[in-house]
Chain A
Amino acid sequence: MKEFEMTFKSITVGIALLATSAISASATDQIRIVGSSTVYPFSTVVAERFGRTTNFATPIVESTGTGGGFKLFCAGSEADTPSVANASRAIKSSEAARCAKNGVKDIIEVKIGYDGIVMANAKSAATFNLTTRDIFMALVQNMPLENGTLVPNPNHTWKDVNSTLPNIKIEVLGPPPTSGTRDAFLELAMEAGCKKVAWVKKLKKTDKKAYKKICHSIREDGAYIDAGENDNLIVQRLKANTDVLGIFGFSFLDQNQDVVKAAKINGIGATFENIADSSYPISRPLFFYVKAEHAGVVSGLVEFITEFTSDRAVGDDGYLSERGLIPMPAAEHKMLRAQIMNQIAKQ
């Protein structure tokens, strides 16, 4: 009995000690990064290199999704909140307002490059040559007709959509609604195709809500399949079923060039060069946001930003381009970099 009491006491004391030591430990010696899962593969490479080549601790990178990242980022300006938020889109005004309300006033936006969204199929299958109109007509939920009415999408095969396309059942594997890739796909591919219908385009000015409802919808009758957040899974399934198309980020195409190939969109191939000069239609910029207030508080933050914006990382021949990041044009990069360094120097 005594023994039992003793061990019990020592364990309680131990846990209490642990808890207090935890609270006193400060988090300011390690950079915390949250946000987009699309930026995660790039952010982690920079973080690892940064940890390896400097005396600072390797930053912690959490993959929370862009929206979830801003939520954490904007929670406050204390040193234990994340200093950096990765984003696969620009910050929304509502998110910026939330930040400001919680005392995060000075946010620096850093553009790191571009990401292309590709529609790919197995290498052995027919090559697709799609227009954004084809994509829209194949995947929209309710199809707008020229006469101003909406009908449930009647297209079953790609040939129904466009007679030059192969006679294969429409089956597309893509990201789920929670994904930033899906948002970007809706905005860049579906909306572009949607605008090709004249009356819908006009609707944008008069009734934005109705316009969005038509253009930003994806059919739910089984032709479009939510494949989850895991892009490797999509690649695996494309390999197994040559009639299926998949939607994913350029970096996965880059890594799997030997098993899948991308469809041409509006006649333009999804290549590194085409995305870099923004002639490829479905590409988006990638960002990270930094709390300027943390510049002097979190050690290594300024050095980390310097590394992430360096030529060595995001430049034309940078190590991130090897991982599938599409760099900005050199002139734009130089200008942005100077701007950011200026903003930091002001702190």
Chain B
Amino acid sequence: MTDLIQISPLSAKAVPGLTGRYRTERNFQRLGRLAIAMSLGFLMFLIVSISYQGVGAFFKTEIRFDVEPAWHDEAAGDSYALLRHIVREAEPEISGRKARRDFFRLIGADAEDVLRATIPDKKFIWLPASDDMDMAVKADFEEGASRLTEQQLDWVRMLAEEDRTRTRFNMGFLTNGDSRDAERAGVGGALIGSLLTLVICFLLSFFVGVMTAVYLEEFAAKNNWTAFLEVNINNLASVPSIIFGLLGLALFLNIFGLPRSSSLVGGMVLALMTLPTIIIASRVSLQAIPPSIREAALALGATQIQMVFHHVVPLALPGMLTGAILGMARALGETAPLMMIGMVAFIADPPGSFTDPATAMPVQIFLWSDSPERAFAEKTAGAIIVLILFLILMNLGAVLLRRKFEKKW
């Protein structure tokens, strides 16, 4: 734009007030750049602070212990006894009930699960550390950064010096369900819940929304009645989302008797919320189709419905899909309506079907942020990263769809 101003053949003398007008334009552009810089700054701050806090959630600390095959036989399948045995053999100098219990607190709650899953012929085994030790190692033993006692910190330092600790990618964080033990907790259950909810939400809102838009735009007469409908649809798009939750509670749970906390009901409620957005986006993309397409189809003898479904809708589809995906992205971030229908809950088992109790990503973030255990702060930020990545993927999909199918006239 600045180029345009500079190569203008008009001189300041020839046109009175030209300098002032140029100045206004430059100032306006400066303001615009400032606005963009500010919003980018906020976004960067959010992303950097969340990444800084949350990157640790994707890694976990492990401790190496020696193990002999015979111990497995001795324990006879009792993984707790085996764990005790391994620790006792590894640290014989730690004596006294309290000291041994303190040392035992360095080992993660999921250590038994690991033991149960290993083959007995290994010479040594890596066991997950407890959340408290994990936090201490990640904070580099910084003063006041963990709940460990001096004695426990000394042990951790000793383990680190002996090269018996390592940091590994925490796959469980992506695959596990919710847990009250930070070392075991993962977003897997919430991810599946979100996915199931979105499937229902998409199936309901997309088809109903597109049909509504097509009818209103292509078939309905333009009269007071349709104008009234239009105002209402636009209004619905800005109704606070919790209202849809209340509606879902009254309608789907109390009258239809659908199962509480299920992703089916969650999806239905979110579909109600997304419908107006999709209807509006679909109508806009239908309006963008030039009348010549319609007239050409009709002139060649197509009926109204053939014209709409053979020509107009396929051309408008990329725009409709984009609208739908953006609506879905908003639905993905909602917690408030889900609270009313019981999806804000501790649900440990990942859902296997639409009717199983499920949570969703933002709900998981909300629940973790309120947990007293320190390690959940890291998990909260980690879950936010996963949610943001999910959103970026969806929005990227919307952009690609538009690029690939959009037609320009």
Contact = CB atoms under 8 A, between A and B. Distances in A.
Given A15-B203, A80-B260, A232-B377, A61 B345 contact: yes
Contacts of A41: 180, 371-372
Nearest to B347: A60
B85 interface: no
Contacts, number: 103
A257 B149 CA distance: 11
User: Could you tell me the dominant secondary structure of chain B's interface residues?
Assistant: loop
Interface residues of A, number: 47
Interface string A13-43: 0110011011101010010100001001101
B367 interface: yes
Nearest to A24: B355
B258 A60 contact: no
A175 to B, nearest CB: 12
A254 B374 CA distance: 10
A187 interface: no
Nearest to B144: A258
A57 B349 contact: yes
Contact of A48 (B179, B259, B305): B179
A251 B147 CA distance: 13
Nearest to B148: A258
B262 A60 contact: no
A61 B355 contact: no
A255 B346 CA distance: 20
B310 interface: yes
B203 A231 contact: no
A231 B370 contact: yes
B377 A258 contact: no
Contacts of A48: 179-181, 346, 348
Residue among A4, A48, A249, A252 with max Cβ neighbours from chain B (10 Å): A48
17 contacts: A1-B309, A4-B309, A8-B207, A11-B203, A15-B203, A19-B264, A22-B354, A23-B256, A25-B355, A45-B180, A58-B348, A60-B342, A60-B346, A62-B261, A62-B342, A63-B367, A258-B146
Given A19-B256, A22-B264, 6 more contacts: A19-B264, A22-B262, A47-B348, A58-B348, A60-B342, A255-B372
Interface of A: 1, 4, 8, 11, 14-15, 18-19, 21-23, 25, 27, 30, 32, 37, 40-41, 43-45, 47-48, 51, 57-58, 60-63, 80, 123, 229-232, 249, 251-252, 254-259, 323-324
